[in-house]
Each structure stands twice: as structure tokens, then as C-alpha cells.
Structure 1
Amino acid sequence: MTEDNQNGKGRTGGVQSIERAFGLLETMADAGGMMGLSQLAAASGLPLPTIHRLVRTLVDLGYLRQEPSRQYVLGPKLIRLGESSSHMLSVFARPHLARLVDELGESANMAMLDGDQIVYLAQVQSRHSMRMFTEVGRRVLPHCTAVGKAILAQYPESEVRDLLHRTGMPKHTDNTITTADAFTAQLRQAEKHGYATDEGEQELGVRCVAVAVPDAPSPLAISISGPAPRMTESLVDRAIPLLTQAAESLSKDLR
């Protein structure tokens, strides 16, 4: 046994049991929020007795709950942590979004992929009397949003197609993409060029351009949106490097 293991420290110098406990929570979240002990052991590579000890502690603290099926689910106590974390993400994002509005004149947004949906976490509105307003907390499907495309462009195509199969691709406007083949083709273009667009696919007459936030703790993207007549090709060309710079700066703030 190494000295680090004897002292209960992980490879990064942290406390190993804490690293393992959070690793289990992240594993469960990635798997949909419910797993059995044997599944957790297989996914984590940890011995079953270690898994059992960690899980019992998390249950006692309210971060996990055991179902009648004997499987474990993420507990309600995590909701408070998630709400506080979302609020802090918004706090960190606002200065970067405000600079985009100052530079470009259109509304700036930050959104996250939460499960199979996009949720808007922050917005700074344009100063134009006619502007795009997206309510913070609003949830939409990713196939008809620039932020959704920017995020999903980072995912393997098989995972994207599984998501589309679960959610369907409802048509919101005549411009909405409604086939997986057409959507994944757009994602390949977004990955190649580093940005994604929404050409009136969620709401007719609204144009949006978005980039993913690199190395973010959650799948995040930032965007600008506005009426299509104001969101000209020239404005979009100006917006892309500014969005990319803002995303990189926000990423550093979140580390």
C-alpha cells in the first residue's frame, strides 16, 4: 500500500474517500440517477465493500436514497446544491454576457444541457426596444436552438441520436430541423467551424449564434440572439470571435 493510500489521500493530494464519493454521484448522474451496488462497482472499479460503505454514508447524509427495488437514486438534498450552483454560474456569466451586449447590441444568453433539455441560466438583454427575451429557467429541446447544437456538437453522434430518439424532434417553425440525419450534419459543421446557429428554428424571425464553453464543469454554451433583420451576416461574423473569447474567459473563471 502506498503512503498516500495509508493516509487516505487520493492521487491528486485530496482526501480519497471524498473523491470516491463525488465520483459515485457523478457516475449515477451520468447513468440517469439510479443504479444498484453491483452496477456502481462495475462502473467505478471499486471493491463492493468500499462502494457499500460510501453509499451508506451518502444515504445517511441525504445525498442518496434507497428505493424498494434496492437500487439507489440521487437524493433530494442534491437539489439545494444544484440550485445554488446554477445561481453561481449565472453570477460568473453575467459580466461576460454584458460585454457581449455592449459590443454587439443584441441579447446574450448562457444555457446548459440538463438531462435531455436545454435550460437557460442567465441572460443580459439588449437595449433595443425590440429585443429577444428568454426567461431564465426556461427549458427547451436542444434540436431547435443554437446553444443546444453548440453543446451537442461535442458529443459522440450515437449519444446525440439516442437523445433525439428519446425527445423526438417536434416542429416549431417551418425552419425547424426534424430529422436526425440533417441535425447531425449541422453538428458536424458546428464542430468544424466552432459555432452553431439557429435560423428561426425555435421562433420565426429570430436568429441566434452560439459557442460552447470549453472545459466547463457542466455542458454550457453562450449565445447572442436578436431579430433576423438585425442579425446580419456581418454581425454574426463579428460575434463569433467575441463569443469564443467570452466562452474561454468564462471557462477560466469556472476552474
Structure 2
Amino acid sequence: MRLLECVAEHRYGAPAKQLARETRLALPTAYHLLRTLVHEGYLRREKGLFFLGEAAERLSSSGAEQKRRSTVADALARWRDAIGAPVYYAMYRDGEIEIMCVSDAPGTPAVEEWADFRETGHAHAIGQCLLSQLDEGARRDHLARYPVSPVTPYTVRDAASLSRRLERTRRTAPVTERQEYALGVVCAAIPISVGTTAAAVALSLPARQADRLLPAAERLQTEMGLLLGSLAISISI
């Protein structure tokens, strides 16, 4: 690991003797370890100089992805505690609704996915929020694959009604639904643009706390505004 770290500090490569000296390894030991690292793909050797190899770069990429995920998870947990409700992060990728991260607690449990979130986007606030950010063609394609159908007695009844609702949705306004996906639960979702990708952060509450929904969504939007600058890169997990 010291050798890998040392090589990473030399953008233009370094010879074995220099690496041995800087890591305080005996030269024969350094040579042996360097050959092993080259064989395993963690280093590559060119004209007597050692550089990071593809395996090390994959490791670095994986570590960066884990760090981004950790950053987003920490933000969701902070918002969860500030609002007193479970918080969700979702994206629309490759034609699908994906729940990327959920932060809940024993006293504030997340909504149970009793019907596939991908197939019921018309029924929950996250899906409606994501669909509202799509262009007409992408939205039509999604609804052709996942037609509008009742999930509860309160679910929007048909594609035309859903389209009218989505068209009335303001770009930065929270999207709310009350018991459309799960009886006894109300939800709100706030749109986020991650480059050209539609994304959303959402919260859910028991229906008996429905009067808290809009104030909680506004609080979430405020909390997001305080942190989103630092999450501009991390949020795209």
C-alpha cells in the first residue's frame, strides 16, 4: 500500500530505487513488491518508471463512488433528523425510476415497497416528481411501459388525468400525494436537476400527520438549499 501511495504521488512515474528510498523499503523487497503489483495490474512499468495500473484506477473509482454515496447518505440522515420523517433520494436513469438511498429510523420508518416503485411511478410523489421533469416523449414512453392503473382508491385514475396534473406542476414546487401509493401514508417530493438527469428528494408521513406535509416539504427544501452546493458532484450517485 505504501508503494501504491508513493507511485500515486508521482504523476510522471518513478523508478524502483526512488520508490524504495521514499517508502524506506529494502531495494530487493521493493523490486519484489513492484513486480507483484505490475503482475496483478495495480501498477504498470514503462521505460523503467512505474505508474498506477488499471486495477488501482478501478479501486480509486470505487472508493470515490463509496465516498459520494456516504456523502449523500449523511445528508439524508441530517434532513431526516431535522424534519422528523424518512427521507428518500431517487433518480430517473435509463428509462427507470430508481430509489438510490433511503434514510429512516425506528420512530420514522420508510414506506414499505409493497408495489414495485418502478411500475407505480404515477401513484407516488417520487414518481410524479420525476415524470414531471421529463419531456413529453420520454414521459409517453414511460407510461406506455408502465400504464396508469389504480394502486389504492385514491390513485390518479388515468393517463390523461395524470398528464394534466404533471403539466400543472411548477418546476421547483414540491409534488405531493395523499394515500395514492399506500393507504395511511402521505408523501412529498422536491425536484432536483443533476445535469440532464431528473432526480428528487422526498419525505413521507403517516396520513394522520397530513397537516405537516407541506411545512415539512418546505423545511426539507430549505435544508436542501443549505447543503446542495456541497453535494453538486456527490448527489449523482
Query: Could you say which TM-score interval applies, normalised by the shorter chain?
Result: 0.5 to 0.7
| Alignment partner, residue 221 of structure 2 | 244
Residues 211 and 156 from structure 1, CA distance in 2 versus in 1: closer, same or farther, beyond 3 angstroms? same
Name the amino acid aligned to 1:140: R
Unpaired stretches in structure 2, ≥5 consecutive residues: 1-60
The Cα of 1:188 is off from its aligned counterpart by 2.5
> For the residues of structure 1 that align with 2:62 and 2:158, how far apart are their CA atoms?
34
> Which digits, 9 at most, give the CA deviation of each residue in 1:182-205, with x for residues without a partner?
112221232266111121121111
> For the residues of structure 2 that align with 1:83 and 1:176, how far apart are their CA atoms?
40
Q: Taking structure 2 as the reference length, what is the TM-score of the superposition? A: 0.61
- Is 1:174–2:174 an aligned residue pair? no
| Alignment partner, residue 72 of structure 1 | none
RMSD: 3.1
| Alignment partner, residue 131 of structure 1 | 109
> For the residues of structure 1 that align with 2:216 and 2:62, how far apart are their CA atoms?
30
| Alignment partner, residue 21 of structure 2 | none
The Cα of 1:83 is off from its aligned counterpart by 9.0
SS in 2 for 1:176: coil
| Alignment partner, residue 191 of structure 1 | 170
> For the residues of structure 2 that align with 1:139 and 1:84, how far apart are their CA atoms?
29
Name the amino acid aligned to 2:83: L
- Is 1:100–2:84 an aligned residue pair? no
> For the residues of structure 2 that align with 1:119 and 1:229, how far apart are their CA atoms?
28
Q: Taking structure 1 as the reference length, what is the TM-score of the superposition? A: 0.57
Superposition pairs for residues 32-71 of structure 1, below 5 Å?
none
The Cα of 1:86 is off from its aligned counterpart by 7.3
Query: Relative contact order (C-alpha < 8 Å, sep 6+): which is higher?
Result: 2
- Is 1:222–2:201 an aligned residue pair? yes
1:162 counterpart (133, 141, 164): 141
Name the amino acid aligned to 1:238: P
CA contact (8 A) 2:86 2:203 kept: yes
Name the amino acid aligned to 1:226: L
Report % sequence identity: 22
Name the amino acid aligned to 1:147: I
Higher helix share: 1
> Which digits, 9 at most, give the CA deviation of each residue in 1:161-180, with x for residues without a partner?
23212221232111122312
SS in 2 for 1:254: coil
Residues 159 and 104 from structure 1, CA distance in 2 versus in 1: closer, same or farther, beyond 3 angstroms? same
Name the amino acid aligned to 1:93: V
> For the residues of structure 1 that align with 2:174 and 2:188, how far apart are their CA atoms?
7
The Cα of 1:218 is off from its aligned counterpart by 3.3
> Which digits, 9 at most, give the CA deviation of each residue in 1:129-163, with x for residues without a partner?
x633457xx74232112111112212223431232
The Cα of 1:107 is off from its aligned counterpart by 0.7
Total equivalences in the alignment = 171
CA contact (8 A) 2:86 2:105 kept: yes
| Alignment partner, residue 254 of structure 1 | 232
